[in-house]
A and B are shown apart, each in its own frame.
Chain A
């Protein structure tokens, strides 16, 4: 399949700070997840492929044409930025139609497209409310609506699920997935693996401005599963619980946290570990208050990939 987006040795730095380094890749139609921790270079990459910023080195092609300063080509792209980008005093309707004006549609077509976009994101009923009265989820959906209102072939979404509640997340994920079968190219960035996993199997793993891996998400998943996990347990007797854990083979390390009554356990088999906790808790009469995973799994994978 012919790539829609193609980059060659794309590099960008901000003074001494490296934004992106020597990225050469091809992206085909479908949903592609850009995965990486905060500050990895995801936003820089997305801004470069949408022609908003100039690379220091390298070129980006959209549909075989250079994107930089090729303004008519921008009509093919719908961009949903990470940060809120609204004129709060406008209504949702005015915001969408105002941006559609920049595409020079006739008033009738503009209204029609705005209506369709707002229908897709389920904001028709709230279209006449000012944006500042919108909830976080509604604002995210409105941002999505402005990205798709001109029916672009390439949709670029920078952290579209940031700060959303589970219901809001589900709605946005459903919207993004609905684009899957339409032959469009959708690029979604996130630093949370399960978010990307819910949308696509194709991912690009980016870290410290470099592409670490590109391909099937299962590969990344496997890396996470085989990599040690740190689990924090807050309980009534952490020392007693620790003495039980150290007898297990899949427990690699046990530490006492500075937080009160909290135990940090490193394990290479999360499933076995979690299944053990209830029985130990009952057997030793230990009250477990809280179980969390303080380590970012994705970060662990990156550390693993860079050989830390």
Chain B
């Protein structure tokens, strides 16, 4: 059969790698999250804790004014690394982060599996690495808004309210702690969420898994501890491990009398396992009939 060249011109040039091939996936993921009705309510509310802590920083600098207004009964408020740890590694922020990843992350891979979309991605100039990067960046975006951004805002506002660099000079390592903790907790939650998202096609089921495993691990820790009175069972709890490592990062006393390295190992092992499963789960669609 003769093929006549009519409208199409063959292109023999060299294609170049795009700089951020994952960005469209991230952009779409963020956009889709903001489309969710309940997320529109939750998103501003998730910053209330940060606002509360920011108010604490302001009050700490105006303590004398408050004392003159309310008398000496006003408790003193110390802004130090412990204050940052209380915000960043506190159970309430971890809970907010959990809800955040349920909103932004539960459907990241499960929706693609449900819609058979992996073949649409992987038949395009997109590496598997870029796919994961794109999905991870969605979670990173939202979790950094709750950790890294408030952490730095606190430091900057503390200096602005105080009108000096004294705070920074007293704790020059604190910005690094904020970065390290934010990266650690975000990395963990990214792996945790993407791993669970790759296990099922139902976003709702994944959301239940995200919630259930997190709190289930804590319940398990409590049950074992009550029965055996051994603090090593805190290694079973996701939040306990994060708080344990968080305390070390902020140079504070660990909440459980076990070595923090063990908690870090548990979190790292989970991430490695999750990464391995993700690699296996997210691949070109193979049909066996």
Contacts and interface: CB of A to CB of B under 8 A. Distances in A.
B211 to A, nearest CB: 23
A102 B125 contact: yes
Contact of B123 (A69, A77, A104): A77
Contacts of B18: 104
Interface in A94-118: 98-99, 101-104
A102 B121 CA distance: 8
A72 B16 CA distance: 7
A101 B28 contact: yes
Interface centre among A50, A77, A86, A87 (most CB of B within 10 A): A87
Interface size range on B against A: 35 or more
Interface residues of A, number: 51
A17 B288 CA distance: 7
Interface in A7-65: 14-15, 17, 19, 28-30, 38-39, 43-44, 47, 50-54, 63
B24 A81 contact: no
Contacts of A74: 123-126
Contacts of B124: 74-75, 99, 102-103
Contacts, number: 119
A79 B111 CA distance: 20
A30 B15 CA distance: 24
B135 to A, nearest CB: 13
Contacts of B286: 14, 19, 44, 47, 53
Given A14-B286, A29-B3, A52-B285, A87 B125 contact: no
Contacts of A30: 1, 3
B41 interface: no
A86 B122 CA distance: 14
Interface of B: 1, 3-8, 10-12, 14-18, 21, 24-25, 27-28, 111, 115-117, 119-127, 283-289
12 contacts: A19-B286, A28-B3, A50-B123, A51-B123, A71-B126, A79-B123, A81-B116, A86-B117, A102-B124, A104-B21, A181-B6, A183-B10
Given A14-B288, A47-B286, 6 more contacts: A19-B288, A44-B287, A54-B284, A75-B125, A84-B116, A85-B120
